[in-house]
Amino acid sequence: MIKLNDQKTTKKLVLEKYDSIGRAAQSRDSKGCCGSAEYEIFADDYTELHGYNSEADLGLGCGLPTEFAHIKPGDTVVDLGSGAGNDCFVARQLTGAEGRVIGLDFSPAMIARAKENALKLDYNNVEFLQGDIEQNPIRNDKADVVVSNCVMNLVPDKQKAFRETYRILKSGGHFSISDIVTEGELPEEIRKDAELYAGCVAGAIDRKEYLRIVENAGFKNLKVQKIKKIELPDNILLKTISQIELTAFRDSGAGIFSITLYAEK
């Protein structure tokens, strides 16, 4: 088991993981929440949403933030952690040709893949930028709406990431973000496991703490739009903890949840 030591190590791990996924041929083996087919239980079904593009769907999400984002024609939408462009293309269907969609991703390979997908769709109002969510390259007051799907849990400094999100939103703008949170304590070995970090689990924090960070960044009118309990199979957790520890975790009442959160600037 590879263990995390610091934020630099964490970012390197995430970049390597997602670059690898971005370079992979689209197949079942390249899918699954946060980079593993084992985590497909996290993902929600996009196929009924207008604008869905199967080549852009890598199964990396844990919700459908665009479905809840109140995107209007003409809006400028920013997708944080845009991957191969799935949420961007759904958002573009909602903004129409008069709107604009910007995808930001840490992985150059993901950006290349998203640009290729946008070119095939002949979208001239969807663009993709490579960059760090903690040091967002997008200018102040740019977005009407921000969306993100199972990405903030991968960011080491979540407070900084949400402050940057606040900065790029216009006054009166809002976000809809799907993410993984916990209730109760995860075992320490899980929190230190690099593979489970890249798999959206170890980086998750308590839901109350998550909401506190969002409020401290300046956001108002927080609303949990959707919540879904995630049951990780025993075989995944037993790679990190013992059977005794697993039993104690199951008996503790602690849980892992996918939430979709709305908040306003």
Q: What is the pLDDT of residues 156-176, one digit of tens each?
A: 899 999 999 999 999 999 999
**pTM for the whole structure:** 0.87
Indicate the domain borders of the chain. 7-264
List, in sequence order, every residue forming a beta bridge with 135; answer none if it has no partner.
132
- Give CA–CA dist 82/129, Å, rounded: 9
When pLDDT is averaged across residues 252-262 and rounded to a whole number, the result is: 89
Q: What is the pLDDT of residues 194-227, one digit of tens each?
A: 566 555 666 778 999 999 999 999 999 999 999 9
Q: What is the pLDDT of residues 56-109, one digit of tens each?
A: 888 788 899 999 999 999 999 999 999 999 999 999 999 999 999 999 999 999
Provide the b/e sequence for 41-54 (b: ≥16 CB within 10 Å).
ebbbebeebebbbe
Q: Which pLDDT does position 5 carry in this prediction?
A: 57
What CATH architecture does domain 7-264 belong to?
3-Layer(aba) Sandwich (3.40)
DSSP 222-260: EEEEEEEEE---HHHHTTTS-HHHHHHHHHHT-EEEEEE
pLDDT of residue 190 exceeding 80, the answer is: no
- Give CA–CA dist 165/160, Å, rounded: 9
Q: Which pLDDT does position 23 carry in this prediction?
A: 79
- Give CA–CA dist 146/189, Å, rounded: 33
Give whole-number Cα distances, 43 to 14, 35, 150, in Å: 19, 11, 9
Question: Cα 221 from chain centroid?
Answer: 21
